[in-house]
Amino acid sequence: MRKVVKFLAAVAAIVVAAGVQQNAEAAFVGAPMGLRGAIQYIKFDQPTLAPMAFTIFCLKYKDECKPRPQQIVFRGGRLKLTAQRLVQMQEVNKRVNGAIRPEPNLEGLRGEKWLLHPASGDCNDYAVTKRHDLIAKGFPARSVLLSEVVTSWGEHHLVVVVRTFSGDLVLDNLSGHIMSWSKKPYRWVRIQSPKNPNYWASLGDRAV
């Protein structure tokens, strides 16, 4: 698994240093097939209730929660992680992290308001904005999922998971780096379903 993370970091360095996407694509596509066996994927467990704030979010932003029947969930809904997509993910993660001013929610569940592109907000606003922007760039909704986690200090937190054949990668407002989900120091609680964004599931063990 460490090799995979180092490889993704190396690709990112190539993209930034060289600034030539064609070269980065060539470097990425040339990854050894043997690495695939070390990749860990999120395992969906039992259906569970969506966060209440998500239900309210869907009432406000109906298009964000529309099932997309035209997008067939093929092979688990994963996408091929090309160099171009990696660059787009990095750009969205960096831009949204910088555009929204951190503002903690001190009112608990009562104060949760998931907003797209607010001037200030908490982790929920970062996550839904990143998901919206990635889908606007052509990422299939089935592969870009919101996930609730618990941090090492016991706080509930929302991140975006992009499900690829190269692993499940996390966009997080607490980090400028896109990392494998298995490398994040979180307890994973629940995640959107690839088949229908309104449905959520609990997460099973970290198994390949």
pLDDT one-digit tens code per residue, 41-52: 898 989 999 999
φ, ψ for residue 141, nearest 5 deg: -60, -30
Task: Provide the pLDDT confidence category of residue 115 given band limits of 50, 70 and 90.
Answer: very high
Q: Which own/partner contact pairs does 70-78 have at CB distance under 8 Å and 24+ positions apart? A: 71/140, 71/141, 71/142, 73/142, 73/194, 73/195, 76/41, 76/163, 76/194, 77/140, 77/142, 77/143, 77/163, 77/194, 77/195, 78/143, 78/163, 78/164, 78/165
What mean pLDDT value characterizes the chain? 81
Structure tokens at 156: 């509930």
Answer yes or no: is pLDDT of 34 > 50.
Answer: no
Could you give the 3-state DSSP secondary structure of residue 171? strand
Q: Which helix (H) or strand (E) holds 125?
A: helix 123-136
Mean pLDDT of all residues in 77-105: 94
- Kindly report whether the global pTM for this prediction surpasses the value 0.85: no
DSSP code of residue 183: G
Structure tokens at 97: 């992290």
For residues 158 and 130, what is the distance between their CA atoms, to the nearest angstrom?
Answer: 11
Minimum mean pLDDT range among 6-20, 81-95, 179-193: 6-20
Which amino acid does the sequence have at 149?
A: V
**Per-residue model confidence (pLDDT) at position 104:** 81
